[in-house]
Amino acid sequence: MKQVFDEVDTYLEDRYGDRYPLHPARAAHGVTANPEHSGLFTVGADFTAGYGSELGRGYLLAVDIKTLTNVPDEVEEEIDQVAVEKVRELLPLYFPDRRLEATRDGRFFKIHGDLGLGKR
């Protein structure tokens, strides 16, 4: 899953990376070995057990914009939408034998489906 998020990170950097100044404590994109530690974006996910959700357990997509500049809500929503579209494109490539989906669940997008860790 980390490779998916790293690829989404690079995609967002290419598309939006020059729109806002980086946080002063942040390295430029591509300077560090881990994309999570450089550039305007950090892309990852937080596991949720899914209590109260019709979709159940899964991973909430987290796209953090690392700037001190105010980013308008509509721009954040656009970036989230672009990110989830890229995740949807990449999931079947990285997990061809799994049924995984990325669906809006309340305010967030959730990756859900066959989350098993191996053969049963």
| Strand arrangement, sheet containing 108-113 | 41-48, 58-65, 108-113, 100-105
Print pLDDT tens along the chain (120 aa): 999 999 999 999 999 999 999 999 999 998 998 888 899 999 999 999 989 888 999 999 999 999 999 999 999 999 999 999 999 999 999 999 989 999 999 889 999 998 876 655
25 CB-contact burial (10 Å; exposed 0-12 / middle 13-18 / buried 19+): exposed
**Domain locations along the chain:** 2-113
- Predicted confidence at residue 119, as pLDDT, reads 59
Tokens of 107: 């305010």
